[in-house]
Structures are given as C-alpha cells and as structure tokens.
Amino acid sequence: MQQSLDGYPGHQSRCTVIGTPTATQRHEYQVIRDIYRASLEECRTGRTAGEVYDSVVGHFAAAGLQYHSMLAGHSVGCWWHQQEPVIARGNRRRLEANMVIAMEPHIDHWHIQDMILLRPERPELLSTRFPTDELFVCG
C-alpha cells in the first residue's frame, strides 16, 4: 500500500489470505511477524545499517530460516527505494536520530513492511493504521 505524508512517500505492506487460513499459514505468519517486530527494535541510532542487517539475518537463522534478500529495509525520502541508508550487508552508514526507515525483512510471500522514525531512545512506528497482530483474512 503506498502512503504519503506531506508529500513524502512511504511504504506499508501486509500479508493477506483469501478464505480461512490454514494452521500452517497462521504459524508461518506469526514466525515472520515476530522476526519483523524484533527487526524494528534493531534499528537504533549509532548502529550501522550493516549491523542491523546482520541482526535480521540472525533472527531468521534463530527461527531456522535463511535470509537471502539483499536488503531488509531502506530510508524514505525523495526516492521510493534504495535511498541511504539501505539496510544491507556491509553497509557502514550509521543510523541517526530522525531518519525514517521502511523496514521490510521478508521471506518468500510473507512480506510485512512499516515505516519507523529513529528516536534516540527507541524507534517509533509511524504506520500504525493497519496492525500486524493477526494475518489479514479476506472472504
């Protein structure tokens, strides 16, 4: 879903199942959701984008999954995608207070994405209108 606030683009993605989700779908969603939430908390000022990426990879590994995506998030500003800092392996760019990051650690078809504002004390979730607590079900 594309969003805009005062002319700045943003990102928010959710997973949807048509019909009644299976127990496997619900379980897989919960695993990915928990990794996604832990990944948001990794975005702390002073850390490098590469350190955050490595933490994301570690969260997936702890769940028995391999993370293959080249990025786990990106800044939001004038451009939609791949604006620095890109949360990617080896990126030495330090995260700073007041940066806006679209975090999207995803695997296969399970894709949750939100925008966070980096605050000195902890990240602030900006895209709060469509919660991630449960898998969204249509039909």
pLDDT at 4 (0 to 100):
60
Instruction: Please count the other Cβ atoms lying within 10 Å of the Cβ belonging to residue 116.
Output: 22
CATH of domain 2-138: 3.90.230.10
- How many whole angstroms separate alpha carbon 64 and alpha carbon 41? 20
Query: Which pLDDT band holds residue 134 (cuts at 50, 70, 90)?
Result: confident
Dihedral angle at the C-alpha atoms of 123, 129, 131, 135, nearest 10 degrees?
-140
pLDDT, greater one: 63 or 8: 63
pLDDT digits (tens, 9 = 90+) for 95-118: 999 998 999 998 988 888 888 999
Would the pLDDT of 42 be above 90? yes
Would the pLDDT of 25 be above 90? yes
For the entire predicted model, the pTM comes to 0.87
pLDDT at 95 (0 to 100):
97
pLDDT at 127 (0 to 100):
79
pLDDT digits (tens, 9 = 90+) for 43-91: 999 999 999 999 999 999 999 999 999 999 988 876 655 578 999 999 9
- How many whole angstroms separate alpha carbon 107 and alpha carbon 119? 27
Of 41, 46, 49, 42, nearest to 96 by C-alpha is 46
Domain boundaries, the chain: 2-138
Is the bond preceding 21 in cis, omega lying within 30 degrees of 0? no
